[in-house]
């Protein structure tokens, strides 16, 4: 049987190639771990796998696999708000500096003319003049199934009314889950359009608003709240 005999230089080259491939695989593993972690912060997880493109840089591939959201700053009577959007849907709206404000917003893509932001500006303009404009903006906040259920209930609280944490816990079929409901309300990604400011304590106390109690009071007064608790 014939035997393959490799020159010493060829063997060394093969060893070097093997080491290079191992290092590349290890680096890719570290990169994927990092990108998954960052994706949870920046965006909904995009699980698509794209083929490599000749000449494509690592940063470019990172942006394709885990795209940063578009963002813009919108001035309001209660302070500037930061908006985020992806795929023609609003994914976030926060008062700047509020509790649970997202990290690394400086890496997001500033695009004030993104169509969703035009709709949002019109909605906010109407809202802050005392109107109750229809929510004609597609909302897609990232979150667990439980939080999505809670946020859906928040959107059903009528303009000018409030709801208690305990009442929401009963609606999600878990009367003892008031604390979990509080976490979902506090981590609401889209202020105002998902009206977490309409959730109050058991005795109509103004508690638990990430944007601050003074803003919560101002929003309820703007809506003409008459202490009608559901």
Dump pLDDT digits (tens) for 162-183: 999 999 999 987 767 888 999 9
Query: Element (H or E) spanning 33, and its range?
Result: helix 8-42
pLDDT in tens, 174-230: 767 888 999 999 999 999 999 999 999 988 888 889 999 999 999 999 999 755 555
Task: Give dist(CA 191, CA 195) in Å, integer.
Answer: 6
Instruction: Provide the mean pLDDT of the chain.
Output: 79
C-alpha 180, offset from chain centre: 18
Q: Which residues are catalytic?
A: 196
pTM for this structure? 0.71
Quick one: which of 150, 143, 137 has its CA closest to 195? 150
- List pLDDT tens digits, range 10-21: 556 556 655 555
Distance of CA 169 to the CA centre of its chain: 23
H or E element that contains 113: none
Q: What is the DSSP letter of 137?
A: S
- The C-alpha atoms of residue 84 and residue 38 are separated, in whole angstroms, by 16
For 139, the 3-state DSSP assignment is strand
């Amino acid at each position: 049987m014939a035997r393959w005999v490799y020159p010493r230089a060829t063997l060394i080259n093969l060893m070097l190639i093997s080491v290079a491939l191992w290092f590349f695989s290890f680096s890719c593993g570290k990169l994927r771990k990092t990108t998954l972690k960052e994706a949870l912060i920046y965006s909904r997880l995009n699980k698509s796998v794209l083929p490599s493109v000749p000449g494509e840089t690592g940063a470019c591939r990172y942006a394709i696999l885990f795209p940063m959201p578009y963002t813009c700053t919108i001035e309001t009577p209660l302070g500037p708000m930061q908006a985020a959007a992806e795929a023609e849907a609003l994914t976030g709206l926060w008062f700047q500096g509020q509790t649970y404000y997202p990290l690394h917003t400086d890496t997001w893509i500033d695009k004030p003319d993104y169509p969703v932001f035009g709709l949002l500006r019109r909605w906010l303009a109407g809202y802050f003049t005392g109107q109750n404009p229809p929510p004609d903006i597609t909302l897609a906040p990232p979150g667990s199934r439980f939080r999505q259920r809670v946020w859906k209930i928040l959107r059903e609280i009528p303009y000018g009314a409030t709801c208690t944490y305990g009442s929401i816990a009963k609606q999600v079929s878990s009367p003892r889950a008031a604390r979990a409901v509080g976490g979902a309300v506090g981590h609401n990604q889209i202020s105002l359009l998902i009206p977490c400011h309409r959730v109050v304590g058991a005795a109509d106390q103004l508690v638990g608003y990430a944007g601050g109690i003074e803003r919560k009071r101002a929003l309820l007064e703007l809506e003409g709240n008459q202490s009608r608790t559901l």
